[in-house]
A and B are shown apart, each in its own frame.
Chain A
Amino acid sequence: MQDDDFILNRLADAVNRQERLVWRGRHLNTVFLLERGTDAYLITVAAGRIQAVRQGPFVMPRWQFALRASAEDWAQFWRPLPPPGYHDLMALVKFRRLRAEGDLYPLMSNLLYFKDVLACPRAEGAPS
Chain B
Amino acid sequence: MNPQQANPHPAVFEPIIGRYLHLTLGGRAHRVYVEEAGSGIPLLCLHTAGADTRQYRAVMNDPRILQTFRVIAFDLPWHGKSSPPEGWQQETYRLTSEDYAQAIIAVADAMALDKPLVMGCSIGGRIVLHLALEHAHRFGGAIGLQSGAHVDPYYDLEWLNRPDVHGGEVCAGIVSGLVGPGSPDNHRWETLWHYMQSGPGVFKGDLHFYTADGDIRDRVAGIDTRRCPLWLLTGEYDYSCTPQDTEFLAGRIAGSHWQIMEGMGHFPMSEDPDRFLAYLRPVLAQAAEARLRE
Contacts and interface: CB of A to CB of B under 8 A. Distances in A.
Asked if chains A and B come from one complex, the reply is yes
Interface of A: 81-82, 84-85, 87-91, 93-95, 104-105, 108-112, 115
Interface of B: 154-155, 159, 164-166, 169-170, 172-174, 176-178, 181-182, 236-237, 239-240, 243
Contacts of A84: 236-237, 239, 243
A91 to B, nearest CB: 4
Contacts of B181: 81-82, 87
A88 B237 CA distance: 10
B169 A89 contact: no
Given A87-B181, A88-B178, A112-B176, 20 more contacts: A84-B237, A88-B239, A89-B177, A90-B155, A90-B177, A91-B177, A93-B155, A104-B159, A108-B159, A108-B170, A108-B173, A109-B164, A109-B165, A109-B169, A109-B170, A111-B169, A111-B173, A111-B176, A112-B173, A115-B173
| 3 shortest interchain CB distances as A-B pairs | A88-B177, A111-B173, A91-B239
Contacts, number: 55
A98 to B, nearest CB: 11
30 contacts: A81-B181, A81-B182, A84-B239, A84-B243, A85-B239, A88-B239, A90-B155, A90-B174, A90-B177, A90-B239, A94-B154, A94-B239, A94-B240, A95-B239, A104-B159, A105-B164, A105-B165, A108-B170, A108-B173, A109-B169, A109-B170, A110-B169, A111-B170, A111-B173, A111-B174, A111-B176, A112-B169, A112-B172, A112-B173, A115-B176
B152 to A, nearest CB: 9
Given A84-B239, A87-B181, A90-B239, A109 B166 contact: yes
A84 B235 CA distance: 10
B177 A115 contact: yes
A91 B236 CA distance: 13
A78 to B, nearest CB: 13
Nearest to A94: B154
B162 to A, nearest CB: 9
A66 B264 CA distance: 30
Contacts of B178: 88, 90
Contacts of B182: 81
Contacts of A88: 176-178, 239
Contacts of B240: 94
Max chain A Cβ within 10 angstroms of own Cβ: one of B169, B170, B177:
B177
Contacts of B170: 108-109, 111
B56 to A, nearest CB: 24
A121 to B, nearest CB: 15
A88 B236 CA distance: 14
A61 B236 CA distance: 40
Max chain B Cβ within 10 angstroms of own Cβ: one of A85, A95, A105, A112:
A112
Max chain A Cβ within 10 angstroms of own Cβ: one of B155, B173, B243:
B173
